[in-house]
Amino acid sequence: MFVPLWDMNPVRRIRFQWVTLGLILANCAVYFLLQMGLLYPVSTEALVAFAVVPAELVHQGFLNQPVVHPVAGALRIPEGLTLLTYMFLHGNILHLAGNMIFLWVFGDNVEDAMGHVRFLFFYLICGIFAGLTHALVSNNSDVPMIGASGAVAGVIAAYLMLHPNVRVWVLAFFRIPLRVSAGFALIFWIVLQIISVIFDDGSGTAWWAHIGGLIAGAVLVLFMRAPGVQLFNRATGLEPGEAPSGRGAERA
């Protein structure tokens, strides 16, 4: 329904959002260099070994190796490890772009609130919890799940709890630019996820992974934010005379 473009909420505790940028580059590298075959072509069937397959994860256990897929060959890793690897794979360029835009716009301020190392662990834990949630709800499914949406959902939950009043530029219906509060935009997004879970239309989207990531992000930000960082900050954006940093319209 909408795409975030940028917010006027510069980082203040870190010099630059290195972890956020690194995660984006890692996701793009996996997609273009491996999935698209620009460096080393890897077949779709082989990549299944790195995806979360709920039936295999739940019924075989975390330490067991996955079922051997015909093309996967030697790509055999413990099922538990797929809870990390799945979040760096994407179904197509739109899937990748959507997740990375959300991460770019909202990730730096969450990283700013936590610090680099804690933010990295925060992101990965949210993704793991999202994968587990999806696997437990769909425990008999043999459909592979990939994508960073669950981890990004955790970032969204944390941002909402940190900066609900900050103004964000979004592209509504993919064509209408609007300036709204982060609280409005993100709560609208969260409500859509909940509605999608209730009225699942069989689109193939792992909605429960989004819910799991949201829950993990909302809980973890309580404990992983740096000392002195307030929740539900009343600031609406840049202070008078302050120049934007970290992001801007030219990076949208």
Check residue 174 and give left, alpha or beta (phi > 0: left; psi -120 to 50: alpha).
Answer: left
> Which pLDDT score is estimated for 169?
93
DSSP β-bridge partners for residue 252: none
Residues 6+ apart with CB under 8 A from 196: 205, 207, 210
Both tokens assigned to 49: 């070994």
Both tokens assigned to 98: 């959507």
The strands making up 176-181's β-sheet, listed across from edge to edge, are: 2-7, 167-172, 176-181
Distance CA 247, CA 5 (A): 10
**Strand-strand pairing, 2-7 and 176-181:** unpaired
> What backbone torsions phi and psi does residue 146 show, to the nearest 5 degrees?
-135, 165
Residues 6+ apart with CB under 8 A from 174: 2, 3
Q: Is residue 79 within 8 Å of 64, Cβ to Cβ?
A: yes
> Which pLDDT score is estimated for 179?
92
Distance CA 127, CA 148 (A): 7
> Which pLDDT score is estimated for 58?
86
> Which pLDDT score is estimated for 12?
92
> Which pLDDT score is estimated for 176?
87
pTM of the full predicted structure? 0.88
Fold classification of 2-228 is Rhomboid-like fold (1.20.1540)
Residues 6+ apart with CB under 8 A from 3: 98, 101, 170, 171, 174
Percentages (nearest 5) of helix, strand, coil residues in the chain = 55, 10, 35
Cβ–Cβ contacts within 10 Å for residue 214, how many?
27
Task: List the one residue out of 33, 70, 164, 56 whose CA is nearest residue 109.
Answer: 164
**Strand-strand pairing, 167-172 and 176-181:** antiparallel
Question: Could you say which DSSP state residue 250 is in?
Answer: G
pLDDT in tens, the chain (252 residues): 679 998 989 999 999 999 999 999 999 999 999 888 888 777 777 788 899 999 888 877 665 655 444 444 455 678 889 999 999 999 999 999 999 999 999 999 999 999 999 999 999 999 999 999 999 999 888 899 999 999 999 999 999 999 999 999 999 887 889 999 999 999 999 999 999 888 876 667 889 999 999 999 999 999 999 999 999 988 887 654 454 444 432 222
Residues 6+ apart with CB under 8 A from 117: none
In single-letter form, the type of residue at position 130 comes to A
Q: What residue segments make up the domains of the chain, in order of their start?
A: 2-228
> Which pLDDT score is estimated for 215?
97
Both tokens assigned to 67: 């079922």
- For the stretch 33-83, pLDDT in tens is 988 888 877 777 778 889 999 988 887 766 565 544 444 445 567 888 999
Both tokens assigned to 17: 């959002």
**CA-CA-CA-CA torsion sign (242, 245, 249, 250):** positive
